[in-house]
Amino acid sequence: MKFKSLIITLLASSIFLTIIICIWKILATLQGLSFTNLNFNLNLLLSLGLVITCVFIGKKFNHNLKIFVLSLSFSILYTFFNENSPMWFSVGVFLLVLFFTNKLKKYDLKYLNQDFISEKIVFEFLSLFAIVFFALVILFPFYIMIVTSFKTQTALLINPIDLSIDFSKNIFEIFKSYFVIFKTYDFGRYILISSYVSVGTVLITLLFAIPAAYAVARLNFFGKTFLSTSILIIYMFPAIVLVIPLYTVFSQLGLRNSVEGLLIVYTATTLPVAIYMLQGYFKSIPKEIEEAGLIDGQNWFGIIIKIIIPLSLPAIASVSLYVFMIAWNEFLFSLMFLDNPKTFTLSRAINHLTGDAETPRQYLMAGSVVVTLPILLIFIYFEKYLVSGLTAGSVKG
Amino acid sequence: MSSTLSKIEKRTAYTLLLPAVCLVFAIILFPIFANVWISFKEVGLKDIRIPEPRAKKIVKNIQDSNSELKIIYKLRNSSLIQDIREVRFSDKLPKNIKPVNLDKRCEFKSQKVKCFFGNWEAGYRENFEIFVKNVNNNAINSKYIKSNKPDLNGKSNNILLTTDFTLKNFKNVFINNNFFELLMTTFYFTFFGTLGAILLGIFAAQLVNQKFYGRTFMRSILLFPYVGPVVALAYTWTLLLDPNSGTINSLLVNYGVIEKPINLLGQKYLIINILGFELKLRLALTTVIFFEIWRYFPLAFLFILARLQAIPRDLYEAADVDGAGPFRKFFYITLPQITAILSILFMIRFIWNFNKFEDIFLLTGGASGTLTLPISVYQQGFAVSNIGMGSAVSIVIVLLLITFMIIYFKLIGKKANEI
């Protein structure tokens, strides 16, 4: 038996369990439980005890019975040594330990005798920890965003870490912030404007990009290599260096404060990447299909409409979703160009809300949920297309 | 025959390209060059409005007579800075209605009052009156008269089109505004933001490349920070980090980790004592960099994951046979396989982070030591209202960008095409 790998296994797994339980405790604090001490050392000792028993028992008993009894005794001990806590918290601890001991299934003294086993085990627990870490780090702000939007200003001021939702109130009370932002702050209108701008940008971009991408992909003309390299270079120039000249020119032309002005700018800034992505796909379509079309007497217009577009629908979907996302999330130009509340996009409207320091934060968060939710739903639904769009377009960001 | 075919092909290509090229030229290339022009001028935000002659029409009844009316035009020059030359005015009157005792500057022709007002200096105002009378002595419909809007036009200088140039803006950028500190902040932000995002991206990609329950779900949520709108995310983070009642500070105080809340976004320096040495950490800048890493590591993750999945399986199988552990496999197989993509990613992300505006702007607005070049463009141009200075800073950004791109294409331009 290798002593070193035993020690490493014990330490890695018990530290992992302790951290998971600490995270659970912190999350419970946000539900209004008044814990003030994580008891890290004590819980580490408890976990160590659990892992040692688990490993030494090994496969001598029925696995399910073993993990059940062990988890139950662990959670009873845990509840006994820590502050008073409600039932659901202890049940959570029990489930976590159950999951953990199930992971330890194959670990017994014999298994720990293999080569490189300590490295493997550390790697395994690191991966598990990384899953928890990434999920927490990413989802936590989104969780706070949603939960805060259901709170009231006074409740947040009295206890800022109690983010529990009071379900005893009626549904209008719970969703009050949403009613307020739609009624008082006119968010319905901003949703419409944002959708109009985003969809419009997608359509105009496609209208311009498909013919241009076809020309770059298929036709021979003077300056072709120059053009295709400059597409990417142009794409690298950021919006911030365009803002001042565009602001001055648009003010003088009276295009500021108009949705059309935004449409023009969004289209132009997304065109290079749209052309770049589409031409790559067009090149992969066999030339013979087009030649057949040419023989049938089609001109370039017919070829694009009847052959190229139907064959490259997946690429067009990727480009559309990517452009939609950029237009929906865009902030800089809408900040610069729009100062009349009648023409605000959602992003600009939320920014406008913060301009008034008196605006309660739950309204701000409700607005944030309203702008975030549609784009996340679209992302989840069309993930395949958007991911390929992102990968191709992620030179930008 | 073939030459005519190629001619047709060329013509088709140009027709197809023309709309896109024109638009990109007008909205992207033209502004970049316009920046050069503006940066050599002394222009403020208020100067860019073209002065216009304006008139507000007020119709007043005259006592005891409903066949006569007084029309008052409140005339003014919309600009307080610039003159308008050769102002012309015209307004239409309904049939049968004629002006009485018309001003000398005006004449009445085919039911129109036409006036020539000459020069209006900056801030010019005048109440200009006309009396009108119905020829048939009938009542005048005053609403109808009011509904006609007068036409005014005049000539004025557009400050952007004059040819006075100055080097003052560039002098200000390089000398007066702590240019070195600005540059260093930008580089800190860019470098550490890029590095952190790539490191976190490697971890995430390595993680998702393994098999575990909920892997596809994990891959989706890893992209959330990038897909979500920057406005919503930045404000959520501001709220989380808020010193008064932000969740993170409250939690840390609650568990006794810190005694007093830390203003993570509003405090410039944090002094840390390590072994008697005092270290000054740029606190707000570090927080902003962490937000940046959080928001953009998904892109690095996507790229690296795509590369990881293309590494041949048999490499790892051979390593298994040789008895290599997971860490060795990572350092001796995975890492060498992804160095090329990492270097490209680093360059591209470096350029993009260098230009980042929204994130810092929404989190701190450039306060407490987080002023970077892009924020400076906004501050000079719109907060200080000095368009010329803003453009000069933009020019500095463009020049630095061009330098980065040249380095990029020299170093790895060819490799980029292979991947």
What's the rounded mean pLDDT across residues A116-144? 86
- Which two three-digit tokens encode residue B8? 């047709």
Distance from CA of A280 to the nearest CA of B (A): 12
CB contact under 8 A, B203 and A130: yes
What's the rounded mean pLDDT across residues B107-127? 82
Q: What are phi and psi of B56, to 5 degrees?
A: -110, 125
pLDDT above 90 (res B81): no
How confident is the model at residue B414, as a pLDDT? 58
Distance CA B134, CA B47 (A): 44
Distance CA A258, CA B62 (A): 42
Residue B1's pLDDT band (boundaries 50, 70, 90)?
very low
Contacts of residue B398 in chain A, CB cutoff 8 Å? 237, 241
A36 vs B27, B204, B255: nearest CB: B255
What's the predicted TM-score (pTM) here?
0.87
What's the rounded mean pLDDT across residues A171-198? 88
Contacts of residue B377 in chain A, CB cutoff 8 Å? 240-241, 243-244
Question: DSSP H helical segments within A30-152, as ranges?
Answer: 40-57, 63-81, 87-103, 117-149
- Which two three-digit tokens encode residue A323? 């452009």
Distance CA B245, CA A66 (A): 45
Interface test with A, best of B11, B22, B32, B227 (most A CBs within 10 A): B227
Residue A117's pLDDT band (boundaries 50, 70, 90)?
confident
Pick the CATH number of B177-385 from 3.40.718.10, 1.10.150.80, 3.40.630.10, 1.10.3720.10: 1.10.3720.10
B326 vs A119, A251, A336: nearest CB: A119
**Each residue of A333-392: pLDDT tens digit?**
999 888 888 889 999 999 888 877 777 888 889 999 999 999 999 998 888 887 777 776
What's the rounded mean pLDDT across residues A128-155? 89
Within 10 Å of residue B249's Cβ, how many Cβ atoms? 23
Through-space distance between the first and last CA atoms of chain A, rounded to whole angstroms: 53
Distance CA A100, CA A103 (A): 5
Structural element, H or E, at residue B98 = strand B97-100
Distance from CA of A211 to the nearest CA of B (A): 5
Structural element, H or E, at residue B118 = strand B112-120
Distance CA B385, CA B43 (A): 9
B24 vs A30, A120, A271: nearest CB: A271
What percentage of chain B carries pLDDT values higher than 90?
Answer: 14
* Residue keyed to tokens 């040495």: B277
Q: Where are the domains of chain B?
A: 2-46, 51-155, 177-385
A27 contacts chain B (CB < 8 A): no
Contacts of residue B224 in chain A, CB cutoff 8 Å? 138-139, 142, 376, 379
Average pLDDT for chain A: 84
Question: Residue B129 forms beta bridges with which residues?
Answer: B72
pLDDT above 50 (res A317): yes
How confident is the model at residue B236, as a pLDDT? 92
A40 contacts chain B (CB < 8 A): no
DSSP secondary structure of A296-360: TT--HHHHIIIIIHHHTHHHHHHHHHHHHHHHHH--HHHHHH--SGGG--HHHHHHHHHHSTTS-
Instruction: Let me know: does B207 contact A122? Beta carbons within 8 Å.
Output: no
Instruction: Let me know: does B371 contact A206? Beta carbons within 8 Å.
Output: no
Q: Where in chain A is the domain with CATH 1.10.3720.10?
A: 183-393
pLDDT above 80 (res B141): no
CB contact under 8 A, A221 and B306: no
Q: Is B85 helix (H, G, I), strand (E, B) or coil?
A: strand
Distance CA B414, CA B71 (A): 74
What's the rounded mean pLDDT across residues B147-173? 78
- Which two three-digit tokens encode residue A254? 């009276």
DSSP secondary structure of B290-346: HHHHHHHHHHHHHHHHHHHHTS-HHHHHHHHHHT--HHHHIIIIIHHHHHHHHHHHH
**Each residue of B17-59: pLDDT tens digit?**
888 888 888 888 888 888 888 888 887 777 777 777 888 888 8
Nearest-CA neighbor of A94 among A346, B301, A85? A85
CB contact under 8 A, B31 and A383: no
Distance from CA of B88 to the nearest CA of A (A): 21
Contacts of residue B255 in chain A, CB cutoff 8 Å? 26, 35-38
What's the rounded mean pLDDT across residues A71-100? 83
Minimum CA–CA partner of A329 in chain B: B229
Please tell me the number of Cα atoms within 13 Å of B14 on its side-chain side: 8
Distance CA B111, CA A73 (A): 101
Fold annotation for A183-393:
MetI-like fold (1.10.3720)
Q: Which amino acid is at A384?
A: K
B231 CB burial (10 A radius; 0-12, 13-18, 19+): buried
pLDDT above 60 (res A397): no
How confident is the model at residue A394, as a pLDDT? 54
Contacts of residue A148 in chain B, CB cutoff 8 Å? 239
How confident is the model at residue A396, as a pLDDT? 46
Distance CA B300, CA B297 (A): 5
Q: Which amino acid is at B172?
A: N
Instruction: Let me know: does A337 contact A348? Beta carbons within 8 Å.
Output: no
Instruction: Let me know: does B363 contact B237? Beta carbons within 8 Å.
Output: yes
pLDDT above 70 (res B416): no
CB contact under 8 A, B48 and A252: yes
**Each residue of A231-289: pLDDT tens digit?**
878 888 888 888 888 988 888 888 888 888 899 999 998 998 899 888 888 888 888 88
Instruction: Let me know: does A313 contact A327? Beta carbons within 8 Å.
Output: no
B222 vs A134, A275, A328: nearest CB: A134
Question: Residue B100 forms beta bridges with which residues?
Answer: B131
Of these ranges, A113-127, A309-323, B29-43, the one predicted with the greatest mean pLDDT is A309-323
Chain-centre distance for alpha carbon A65:
39
CB contact under 8 A, A240 and B20: no
B210 vs A127, A379, A394: nearest CB: A127
CB contact under 8 A, A245 and B28: no
Minimum CA–CA partner of A153 in chain B: B245
A347 contacts chain B (CB < 8 A): yes
Exposure string of B260-270, with b = 16+ CB inside 10 Å and e = fewer, is ebbbbbebeee
| Beta strands B151-155 and B269-274, pairing class | unpaired
A381 CB burial (10 A radius; 0-12, 13-18, 19+): exposed
Interface confidence (ipTM) of the complex? 0.90
| DSSP assignment letter at B371 | -
What percentage of chain B carries pLDDT values higher than 70?
Answer: 97
Interface test with A, best of B28, B352, B363, B417 (most A CBs within 10 A): B28
The CATH-assigned architecture of domain B51-155 is Sandwich (2.60)
Chain-centre distance for alpha carbon B130:
48
Exposure string of B100-117, with b = 16+ CB inside 10 Å and e = fewer, is eeeeeebeeeeeebebeb
Distance from CA of B406 to the nearest CA of A (A): 10
Instruction: Let me know: does A113 contact A2? Beta carbons within 8 Å.
Output: yes
Distance CA B243, CA B261 (A): 5
Q: What are phi and psi of B99, to 5 degrees?
A: -80, 150
How confident is the model at residue B415, as a pLDDT? 56
Q: Is B138 helix (H, G, I), strand (E, B) or coil?
A: coil
A-B contacts (CB, under 8 Å):
291
Minimum CA–CA partner of A383 in chain B: B220
Contacts of residue B355 in chain A, CB cutoff 8 Å? 238-241
pLDDT above 60 (res A292): yes
- Which two three-digit tokens encode residue B51? 């002065």
Contacts of residue A368 in chain B, CB cutoff 8 Å? 229, 231-233, 235-236
CB contact under 8 A, B251 and A26: yes
How confident is the model at residue B288, as a pLDDT? 93
Residue A393's pLDDT band (boundaries 50, 70, 90)?
low
Q: Is A163 helix (H, G, I), strand (E, B) or coil?
A: coil
**Each residue of B299-348: pLDDT tens digit?**
889 888 888 888 888 888 888 888 777 788 888 888 888 888 888 888 88
Distance CA B299, CA B307 (A): 13
Interface test with B, best of A248, A269, A279, A396 (most B CBs within 10 A): A248
Distance CA A125, CA A13 (A): 7
Q: Which amino acid is at A329?
A: N
More confident position, B308 or B104? B308
Minimum CA–CA partner of B215 in chain A: A131
pLDDT above 80 (res B213): yes
pLDDT above 80 (res A129): yes
Chain-centre distance for alpha carbon B398:
14
Within 10 Å of residue A37's Cβ, how many Cβ atoms? 12
CB contact under 8 A, B19 and A211: yes
A156 contacts chain B (CB < 8 A): yes
Q: What are phi and psi of A110, to 5 degrees?
A: -70, -45
The three-state DSSP-derived secondary structure of A73-101 is: HHHHHHHHHCCCCCHHHHHHHHHHHHHHH
CB contact under 8 A, B233 and A141: yes
Report how far apart, in Å, the C-alpha atoms of A325 and of each of A143, A268, A376, B121 are: 21, 15, 10, 49
Distance CA B309, CA B297 (A): 18
What's the rounded mean pLDDT across residues B166-190? 85
A368 contacts chain B (CB < 8 A): yes
Residue B419's pLDDT band (boundaries 50, 70, 90)?
very low
Distance CA B268, CA A332 (A): 25
A139 contacts chain B (CB < 8 A): yes
